[in-house]
Amino acid sequence: MIDIKDFRNDPDKYRKAAADKHIGVDVDALIKLDGEYKELFSKQQLLTAEKNQIGKQIGQIAGRMKKASDDEKTTLQVEMKSLQARPVEIKAEEHALAEKIATIEPERMDLLMRLPQPQASDVPLGKDDAENVEIKTWGTPKQFDFEAKDHVALGMELGMIDVERGVKVAGSRAYYLTGAGALLHQAILRLAFDMMVFEKGFTPQNVPVLVREPAMLGTGYLPAGRDQAYEMAHEDPLKFLVGTAEVSLTAYHQDEIVDREKLPLKTVAMSPCFRREAGTYGKDTHGLYRIHQFDKVEQVIICKNDEELSKKFHQEILENSEEILQRLGLAYRVVYVCSGDLGQGQVAKYDIETWMPSRESFGETHSASRFYDFQARRLNLRYKDEDGKTQFCHTLNNTVIASPRILIPVMETYQNADGSITVPECLRKYMGGMEKIETPQ
């Protein structure tokens, strides 16, 4: 959520952000409703102040009556009776104001929760992902001197993937990973998780993947992303399956004041993730690219309210993910995401796209996001600075690795002319020393 004071001071900044990010939100309606809310809230405060003042006056009169003469007491009793009548009137006025606020507040809050945070000044303007800007490449896309196969054909022939039975059991975009496919999937996740914990010093967490609505609202996945989330409508209170461990990791300290000395908090989780992929029918649906359930190792950093520090950590989480791809020997590129491809709360984002031979192009495998205090405001996640002033934290997150999508470039890049797949050396210790995946006997 944005700083309402900043919005009131410069609503055009947020109008521009909505236009740049192509997010439909009625800024004029929010200005109107917020103006009404401010006026009503101001009247509430005046009534509260008047009520407090009357209380003090009544107390003072009661004190004077103890020492007053009979005649003075009579006068004071009349004065007190007059004062005591006013709180009854105030209560009725407060009730009327509360009813008016209750009428406009749901719509005001809904608009406020949909209002996008302005992007960083260096983010390129653009309509969608086609206008993202390439800033770096690593490795050389694999070229084959034989007729290469895609990951589905390889997976079926080598007993690694079973889409047909996945669909039979769970419906569209479902799959089984079997045999060496399951081993390869787990090996990649373990490689990433171990690197983050034992080499990068991130604190591991095993997180809930079924969370309450405030966690989804707090991290910005609601209300705008409701159509992408699996909602457990029969649960009370309402719960959702997470599309990323980012939700659980970032919300861990919601409604808390974190010890400043413990910042930055660096956490990592390996978890299943669930996404409805609404509106993507017929798009990237072949094989394992766009599916409803997958596993992901996610990294989150919560730090002090400092833009330069946030930028530094943004580079750090990006480099962590790049390092995994480099260990796997996969060619990739990094793009700086344009305004139209940014989410509501993201100030800036880098996507990593890994070379996928069967697509003859790069496909997105990672997204590294910087939020500043957007998520922390929604989560009420704070710390006290050196002067004792309460500040909202900054938050960042990035995929370390997500599988089985990453199996696409791994399987296709490391395939051999005889139909086998060479296991990348960094994964062999997680696969019992297996060096090659061959057709089951």
What residues are labeled active site?
Answer: 275, 290, 364, 367, 405
Structure tokens at 382: 């704070």
Element (H or E) spanning 99, and its range? Answer: helix 70-114
d(CA 298, CA 310): 17
Query: What DSSP letter does each residue of 212-237 carry, written as one string?
Result: EHHHHHHTT-SSTTGGGSEEETTSSS
Question: First-to-last CA distance in the chain?
Answer: 57
Q: Residue 256 to residues 148, 208, 252, 269, 387: CA-CA distances in angstroms?
A: 53, 19, 9, 21, 18
Radius of gyration for the chain, computed over Cα atoms and rounded to the nearest angstrom: 29
Q: Specify whether the CB–CB gap between 302 and 263 falls below 8 A.
A: yes
Please classify residue 425 by burial: count the beta carbons closer than 10 Å to its beta carbon, then call 0-12 exposed, 13-18 middle and 19+ buried: exposed
Whether omega for the bond prior to residue 357 falls within 30 degrees of 0, making it cis, is no
Using a CB cutoff of 8 Å and minimum separation of 24, what contacts does 2-8 make? 2/112, 2/115, 2/117, 2/374, 2/377, 3/373, 3/377, 4/34, 4/112, 7/34, 7/115, 8/34, 8/38
d(CA 411, CA 131): 29
Locate the DSSP E strands across 34-116.
none
d(CA 344, CA 228): 15
